[in-house]
Amino acid sequence: MIVMAEADTTQYRQQLTVRPWILAGVRRIVGAYVRRWGFDPLVDDAVYCVQELLTNVVKHTESPNCLLVLQRCPSGIRVVVSDTSARLPVRREPDWGAESGRGLTYVENLADDWGAAPNETGGKDVWFEMRSDEDSAEKLAADRTVEHLLSR
């Protein structure tokens, strides 16, 4: 159930009670905002990562209530899911034969950065950032330059 939503040109905030039947609508909203902000190549990965974070709210917290925040950044997007559990997520080495347990590994591989931290409400914020391909290419080139200089 969508409890409340606010939007402006650079941010979308949505209070959610996460239930399986709302995920399709949330995926459409995330995709629409990422496209609107001009980051079309990020849509599929962003939608997937948001779904993983929302699924973790249901699987690993006592309450399905959370806040989803999408933010447009100069070079991409930042997504934050705030929930009521103080327990921080731990990315485990996945058992590829298991039916679950790979979500954060996928988030780590799809996003340019991700993390989790306690928040002021006693819960936590789990976030990820994705940058446009152009920016990622520039970052990769800069990383390679630094590696080259350090290897001398």
Residue 97 has pLDDT above 80, yes or no: no
Q: Which CATH architecture has domain 2-150?
A: 2-Layer Sandwich (3.30)
- Overall pTM surpassing 0.85 (yes/no): no
The residue with greater pLDDT, 53 or 93, is: 53
15-53 burial string, b = 16+ CB within 10 Å, else e? ebebeeeebeebbebbbebbeebebeebbebbbbbbbbb
37-83 per-position pLDDT tens digit? 999 999 999 999 999 999 999 998 999 999 999 999 999 999 999 99
Q: What is the pLDDT of residues 114-143, one digit of tens each?
A: 999 999 999 999 999 999 876 554 554 454
